[in-house]
Structures are given as C-alpha cells and as structure tokens.
C-alpha cells in the first residue's frame, strides 16, 4: 500500500472504528468476537482500499464485509452455545441505575438469541435497514427476513418480557 492510501486508510480506521465496533458487538454479543470481526473486516477492506473510489461508500463496504463475515461464522457453527445469564431483575424502576439495569437485561436477552437472530435484529433496528436491504445484503428472500425478524422479536420478548413495557426516560 503506498503512503497516500495508507494514510487515508489509517485516518478511516481512527475515525470509524468505534462505530464499527459497536455494530460488531451487537452482531456477535461478545467483545472479543466483535474485535475479531472488525479486524477481519478491516483487513479485507485494506486489501481492496485502492479500488474503493467513493469515500462515502467505504463505511458501507466495511459494514457489508462485517455482516457477510458474521453470517459465514454462524453458518459454520454447527451448534449454538447459549449463555447463562444468571439473575434478571423482576422490575425496572426509575433513575440512572434503572437505565443501566435495562441495558443489562437487553444484553442478556440478546445473548440468548442465536447469532442469526441477533444479526437480523441488529440490521433491522440498530442499522435501520429495510427488509429488502437486509435480504439483498444477506442473500436471502424478503419473506425469510420478515419471518426471521418476527421470530427473533418473539424470542427476545420471551427472554426478557420487561423489555416490552413502554417507558419514558427523561
């Protein structure tokens, strides 16, 4: 990689690695796996850096690489290990500590989902992609996306019913 391209790539990594890590964490549910996913995506991006012309499309390219890599990982996995969450609170109260509790409940509930279910919810609700975009990105039908998102939400509701309560923070 010549110095000009290398400097541009380094600048991109410094600027966007935090956002990429957050998405990777939501996809994997594990800090170390998220770090590996981002690193793998950046390595693949570095190899194609010279051919990526549109600076506005670079992050989308990296995210697409991450999604495909994560899909490949859960397809390779023959058995999904479930994580024991231990204790879940019965009720969520008001205040800052309760917001933290809610995040912990959400994290535990997401950990109970399969990687495919977690991926579908992240793409649909965190990345705010349409069903058509998700289908195109993952190479599945729109109907498959709809059913997977529906099943994933149902499993999430069963894993943490307290998340279905409508709350106002502020």
Question: Does the pLDDT of residue 93 top 60, yes or no?
Answer: no
Which residue do the tokens 């939501």 mark?
A: 26
Distance CA 64, CA 59 (A): 8
Q: Where is 69: in which H helix or E strand?
A: helix 58-76
Q: How confident is the model at residue 87 (pLDDT cuts 50, 70, 90)?
A: low
Of 37 and 74, the structure prediction assigns the larger pLDDT to 37
Distance CA 29, CA 80 (A): 13
Least confident span in 10-19, 36-45, 100-109, 139-148: 100-109
Assign a CATH topology to domain 3-76. Rna Polymerase Sigma Factor; Chain: A (1.10.1740)
Question: Does the pLDDT of residue 101 top 90, yes or no?
Answer: no
58-82 average pLDDT score: 78
Could you tell me which residues come within 8 angstroms of residue 80 by beta carbon, excluding any fewer than 6 positions away?
74, 114, 115
User: What is the percent of the chain with per-residue pLDDT over 70, rounded to a whole number?
Assistant: 79
Of 96 and 109, the structure prediction assigns the larger pLDDT to 109
Question: Over the stretch 114-123, which tens digit does the pLDDT of each residue have?
Answer: 888 888 988 8
Q: How far is CA 95 from CA 9, 26, 27, 36, in A?
A: 42, 24, 28, 35
Question: What is the average pLDDT value for the chain, to the nearest integer?
Answer: 80
68-102 per-residue burial string, b: 16 or more CB within 10 A, e: under 16? ebbbebbeeeeeeeeeeeeeeeeebeeeeeeeebb
Which residue do the tokens 């231990």 mark?
A: 86
Q: How confident is the model at residue 170 (pLDDT cuts 50, 70, 90)?
A: very low
Q: Where is 112: in which H helix or E strand?
A: helix 96-112
99-117 average pLDDT score: 81
The per-residue pLDDT for 81 is 55
Q: Shortest CA distance to 164 belongs to which of 86, 109, 83?
A: 109
> CATH 1.10.1740.10 residue ranges in the chain?
3-76
Q: How confident is the model at residue 2 (pLDDT cuts 50, 70, 90)?
A: low
User: What is the percent of the chain with per-residue pLDDT over 90, rounded to a whole number?
Assistant: 19
Question: Does the pLDDT of residue 32 top 80, yes or no?
Answer: yes
> CATH 1.10.10.10 residue ranges in the chain?
96-164
Helices (H) then strands (E): counts for the chain: 7, 0
Domain made up of 96-164: CATH architecture: Orthogonal Bundle (1.10)
As to burial, measured by CB atoms within 10 angstroms (0-12 exposed, 13-18 middle, 19+ buried), residue 151 is middle
């Amino acid at each position: 990689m010549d110095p000009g391209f290398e400097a541009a790539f380094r600048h991109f990594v410094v600027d966007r690695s935090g956002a990429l890590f957050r998405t990777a964490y939501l996809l994997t549910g594990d800090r170390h796996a998220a770090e590996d996913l981002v690193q793998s995506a950046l390595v693949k991006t570095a190899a194609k850096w010279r051919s990526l012309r549109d600076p506005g499309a670079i992050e989308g390219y990296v995210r697409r690489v991450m999604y495909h890599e994560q899909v490949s990982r859960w397809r390779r996995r023959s058995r999904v290990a479930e994580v024991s969450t231990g204790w879940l609170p019965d009720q969520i109260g008001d205040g800052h500590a309760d917001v933290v509790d809610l995040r912990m409940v959400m994290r535990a509930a997401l950990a109970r989902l399969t990687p495919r279910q977690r991926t579908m919810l992240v793409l649909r609700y965190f990345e705010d992609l349409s069903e058509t975009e998700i289908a195109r990105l993952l190479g599945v039908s729109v109907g498959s996306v709809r059913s997977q998102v529906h099943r994933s939400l149902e499993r999430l509701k069963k894993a943490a019913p307290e998340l279905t309560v409508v709350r106002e923070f502020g």
